[in-house]
Structures are given as structure tokens and as C-alpha cells.
Amino acid sequence: MSNDLKKILSAVILIIGFLAFIISTSNNNFNLGLIYLTSTLILWISTGLALDIFNIRIFAGLISISGFMVAISVFFLFGIEQVPYPIGAIVFHLEGISGALGISFFSLFPIITLNYFELEHNNSIKSPHTDQFQNKPEIIIDDDEWEIASEDDLQSGEFETQ
């Protein structure tokens, strides 16, 4: 199977799964939506590993996007409630809002850790501190203009250093 077909299959799996999550969540069936979302991610990982196209950067992004989608769903399903009286009034539930914020916070971890390890990897490859030592000019010791200092010269303080 060509590499393009593998990527298309991977993208189709994700699109179908995310659409199933959105449709089931919009129909107030949050549990079924979570089953769709989790099954989609497991199927995508399995397919990626089997077809040898798994990418950890894409995986971290998908985990974060999925977490944000769940957080938005939790916020709208459990954090906000429309009440009949007065007309158009909205009641905010702190449990749903705090749950959505917590899920959003933990959804940031995959992206942050990936960026941190990438930054560490890039710094270990080329560090500005190692360039200072590598580009250091060579000091010539056996030069006719210089002589080795004696003990009396060192204690007198009348000498130049390079």
C-alpha cells in the first residue's frame, strides 16, 4: 500500500470517529460519544503502528484536541442549563465548569511535554555554550616574544597575561 493511501486511511478513521463523537454528543448521548472517541483513537493508533506511519507529534496533538473536545462537551452538557423561567435564563453549574476546566488543563500536557522534549533535543544538538569552546582561538606557547615566568616574577606582580 502506498504511503499516500496509508495517510488517507488514517485521516478517514479520524474524521469518521470525530464526526460520530460530535453527532452523538450533540444528541445528549455523551457516554456513546466518549466510546466513539476512545475507539477511534485506539483504532487510529493500531492502524498507524500496523502500517508503520505512527507519528508521536500527531498523536500528542490528537490527544490534546480530543481532550479539548471533551472539555467543551462537558461544559455545554453539564456546566450550562437553560431554565424555563424567566424566558431565556441560563444557570451555570460549578461542577460542570470546573470539570471542563480540569479536562482542558490536562489536555495541555501532551503538547507541552512534546514541545519541552523537542526543545531539549534541539538544545542538546547545538548549544550556544559548546560553540564558545569550539571556536576558541589557539594559544601559541612557544613564541620568541614570551619567556617563562620565574617565582620572583610571579610574586612581583609585574607581568602580563594573555
Yes or no: say if 78 and 31 are a contact pair by the CB < 8 Å rule. no
**Residue 162, pLDDT score:** 58
**Residue 131, pLDDT score:** 53
Residues in the chain: 162
Q: Which amino acid is at 152?
A: D
Cell (9 digits) for 56: 508521536
Domain ranges within the chain, ordered by starting residue = 1-54, 63-113
Kindly report the pTM of this predicted structure: 0.71
**Nearest partner of 77 among 21, 1, 148, judged by Cα:** 21
Task: Phi first, then psi: give them for residue 136, nearest 5 degrees.
Answer: -75, 130
**Nearest partner of 107 among 55, 72, 56, judged by Cα:** 72
Our separate counts of H helices and E strands in the chain read: 7, 2
Cell (9 digits) for 146: 614570551
Yes or no: say if 77 and 96 are a contact pair by the CB < 8 Å rule. yes
**Residue 87, pLDDT score:** 84
pLDDT tens for the chain, 162 residues long, are 788 999 999 999 999 999 999 999 999 999 999 999 999 999 999 999 999 999 999 999 999 999 999 999 999 999 999 888 888 899 999 999 999 999 999 999 999 998 888 888 787 766 555 555 556 556 666 666 667 777 777 777 776 665
What's the rounded Cα separation, in Å, for the pair 58 and 117? Answer: 15
**Residue 43, pLDDT score:** 97
Yes or no: say if 135 and 84 are a contact pair by the CB < 8 Å rule. no
